[in-house]
């Protein structure tokens, strides 16, 4: 690509700091980083691979000197929310993937300290290798997805530590002027409580560095949970779409009372199907969205409900039993199953034996359906959940994507937050379903009870990026969803770059203050310009 003089000088300076091999401008690599699951990919001007906080400081100073914008990524696996792509073309990606050390762990207090490039798989392996008896929390974004990037976008997982930002303690941030900010108690030398008490003393600054562009977070403390004495997963299903509100209203009190401490995920039939199969092009003769009769048929043959949920119970044997009783009572009338390690082991053994006899397909299928979410409730990451991204791909020869970009899987999340109230979940479904159907898409939906009081309605447009028409429909569908939901009070918890302007479309003191802080900390607009914080200053 053509390079302006400032960029050329910056690249020279970066090469001197990082070494030539860690400053990439080759088209082939740039092409890789420019790919997106969304229709809105952008092209970076270069990609830098620092290995240390000191190098990040140097990178930032050089960027500031030459006025070249940077876009830091942890692992760039922000699937469906922009992936590795900056909001605009021409930003220089700072890929923190080489900064992948796990610096500390404490089994008694339940925390780890990780650099920005550490993956889910790495931490999981590390906790096992060090025989820590600690369970991490994982998202469904796959083995190679990062911990820090996900946390800074306020992602969530499945265990008691499922609200990722809530389970951070102490950030190291390289500010746009190259200085290092340690949040919490981190700026006191030798502070005993640095990794166990988030607030420090004085104002808490950590919140500034989520969903923003005020600095580059290079290191965080992460709370992880102790392996409980006893663990039970529970799976439940409701036969009718109309059961959704009732399900939520029955579970919410258990969450609010602190009896259920994991996030609870309640997915519709389409969500569950998409994790096992591709869209049934044969059964529908190519028609989209999925006709109701086919949907009913698939529901029956995979023995899934209109709504299907799961959660984890952690505690002593006696508390787990007592909470199981409470769940049983709450979900009376619904299909409910408790699954523990012995069940899984027995089923695996049985399936293995049956397979040797050429039997047991159904059990194997069932295990395939249960095992990955069961593992996630124990914080074990896998690539399995990613398969949903391939739902609408036409080409049956393509394998299920581990990197959805490899198969042209199109993916756009639309994930509004709502109170854990059945009637509101129903209202949200009634808002989004007709929009999805109208544009030819299937409403894949999960309601995640992320905290004691709130749910995130995780919906996504799954489309085939090889078909320009479908891509256009996906864009139109997104546009209609977002412009319907925000005025209705269902605000997304997170978006890709295409959503930022929608979020800040209404003038508000809130966005004004964030812009002021941006100008204060990053007067030259070096870090991720356009990310969440509105780029242009509104006239006062």
Site for a copy of itself in 44-103 (CB under 8 A): none
Query: Cα separation of 473 and 481, whole Å?
Result: 12
242 interacts with a copy of itself by CB under 8 A: no
Which residue's CB is nearer to a copy of itself, number 306 or number 485? Answer: 485
Which residue's CB is nearer to a copy of itself, number 200 or number 267? Answer: 200
> What string marks each residue from 206 to 235 as x (binds a copy of itself by CB under 8 A) or -?
xxxxxxx-x--------x-xx-xx------
- What one-character-per-residue DSSP string does 269-299 give? HHHHHHTT----HHHHTT-SS--HHHHHHHH
Any idea which residue has 């508000």 for tokens? 508
Query: Cα separation of 46 and 26, whole Å?
Result: 8
User: Least CB distance from residue 403 to a copy of itself, whole Å?
Assistant: 27
Question: Is 393 strand, coil or helix?
Answer: coil
Question: Is 241 strand, coil or helix?
Answer: helix
Phi-psi region of 525 (alpha: psi -120 to 50; beta: other; left: phi over 0): left
Query: Cα separation of 368 and 387, whole Å?
Result: 12
326 interacts with a copy of itself by CB under 8 A: yes
Query: Cα separation of 347 and 363, whole Å?
Result: 8
User: Least CB distance from residue 444 to a copy of itself, whole Å?
Assistant: 21
418 interacts with a copy of itself by CB under 8 A: yes
User: Least CB distance from residue 271 to a copy of itself, whole Å?
Assistant: 21
Return the exposure string of 291-312: e unless at least 16 CB atoms fall within 10 Å of the residue's CB, then b.
eeebbeebbeebebbbbbbbbb
257 interacts with a copy of itself by CB under 8 A: yes
The stretch near a copy of itself (CB under 8 A) out of 253-261, 263-271, 350-358, 401-409 is 253-261
Residues within window 155-194 making contact with a copy of itself, judged by CB under 8 A? 160, 165, 169, 175, 179-183, 185-193
User: Least CB distance from residue 117 to a copy of itself, whole Å?
Assistant: 22
Give the interface size with a copy of itself as a residue count (CB under 8 A).
Answer: 100
User: Least CB distance from residue 113 to a copy of itself, whole Å?
Assistant: 14
Residues within window 423-452 making contact with a copy of itself, judged by CB under 8 A? 424, 450-452
> What string marks each residue from 449 to 478 as x (binds a copy of itself by CB under 8 A) or -?
-xxxxx------------------------
- The values of phi and psi at residue 210, to 5°, are -95, 140
Contact 40, 86 (CB under 8 A): no
Query: Cα separation of 273 and 298, whole Å?
Result: 8
291 interacts with a copy of itself by CB under 8 A: no
User: Least CB distance from residue 473 to a copy of itself, whole Å?
Assistant: 26
Which of 361, 506, 523, 537 touches a copy of itself (CB under 8 A)? 506
């Amino acid at each position: 690509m053509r390079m302006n003089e400032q960029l050329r000088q910056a690249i020279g300076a970066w090469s001197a700091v990082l070494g030539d091999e860690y400053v990439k401008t080759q088209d082939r690599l740039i092409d890789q980083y420019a790919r997106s699951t969304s229709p809105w990919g952008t092209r970076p001007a270069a990609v830098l691979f620092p290995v240390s906080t000191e190098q990040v400081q140097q990178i930032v100073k050089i960027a500031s000197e030459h006025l070249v914008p940077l876009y830091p990524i942890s692992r760039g696996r922000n699937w469906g929310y922009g992936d590795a792509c900056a909001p605009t073309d021409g930003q220089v990606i700072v890929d923190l993937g080489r900064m992948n050390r796990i610096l500390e762990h404490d089994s008694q207090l339940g925390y780890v300290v990780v650099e920005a490039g550490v993956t889910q798989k790495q931490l999981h392996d590390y906790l096992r290798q060090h025989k820590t008896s600690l369970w991490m929390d994982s998202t469904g974004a796959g083995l190679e997805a990062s911990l820090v990037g996900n946390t800074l976008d306020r992602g969530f997982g499945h265990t008691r530590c499922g609200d990722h930002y809530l389970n951070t303690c102490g950030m190291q941030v390289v500010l746009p002027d190259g200085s290092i900010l340690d949040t919490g108690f981190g700026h006191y030398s030798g502070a005993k409580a640095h990794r166990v008490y988030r607030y420090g003393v004085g104002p808490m600054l950590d919140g500034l560095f989520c969903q923003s562009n005020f600095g580059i977070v290079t290191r965080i403390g992460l709370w992880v949970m102790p392996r409980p004495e006893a663990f039970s997963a529970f799976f439940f299903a409701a036969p009718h779409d109309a059961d959704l509100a009732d399900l939520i209203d029955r579970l919410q009190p258990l969450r609010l009372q602190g009896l259920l401490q994991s996030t609870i995920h309640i997915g519709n039939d389409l969500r569950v199907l998409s994790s096992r199969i591709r869209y049934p092009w044969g059964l529908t003769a190519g028609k989209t969205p999925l006709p109701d009769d086919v949907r009913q048929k698939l529901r029956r043959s995979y023995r899934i409900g209109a709504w299907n949920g799961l959660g984890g119970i952690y505690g002593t044997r006696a508390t787990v039993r007592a909470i199981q009783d409470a769940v049983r009572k709450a979900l009376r009338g619904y299909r409910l199953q408790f699954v523990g390690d012995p069940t899984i082991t027995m089923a695996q053994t049985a399936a293995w034996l049956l397979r040797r006899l050429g039997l047991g397909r159904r059990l194997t299928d069932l295990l395939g359906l249960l095992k990955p979410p069961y593992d996630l409730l124990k914080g074990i990451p896998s690539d399995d959940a990613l398969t949903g991204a391939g739902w609408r791909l036409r080409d049956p020869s393509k394998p299920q994507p581990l990197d959805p970009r490899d198969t042209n899987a199109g993916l756009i999340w639309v994930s509004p937050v709502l109170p854990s109230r059945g009637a509101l979940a129903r209202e949200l479904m009634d808002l989004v379903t007709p929009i999805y159907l109208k544009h030819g898409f299937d409403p894949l939906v999960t309601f995640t009870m992320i905290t004691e009081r709130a749910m995130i309605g995780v919906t996504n447009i799954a489309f085939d990026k090889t078909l320009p028409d479908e891509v256009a429909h996906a864009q139109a569908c997104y546009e209609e969803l977002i412009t319907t939901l925000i005025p209705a009070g269902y605000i997304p918890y997170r978006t890709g770059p295409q959503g930022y302007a929608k979020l800040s479309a209404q003038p508000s003191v809130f966005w004004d203050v964030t812009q002021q802080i941006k100008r204060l900390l990053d007067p030259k607009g070096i870090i991720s310009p356009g990310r969440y914080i509105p780029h242009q200053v509104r006239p006062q």
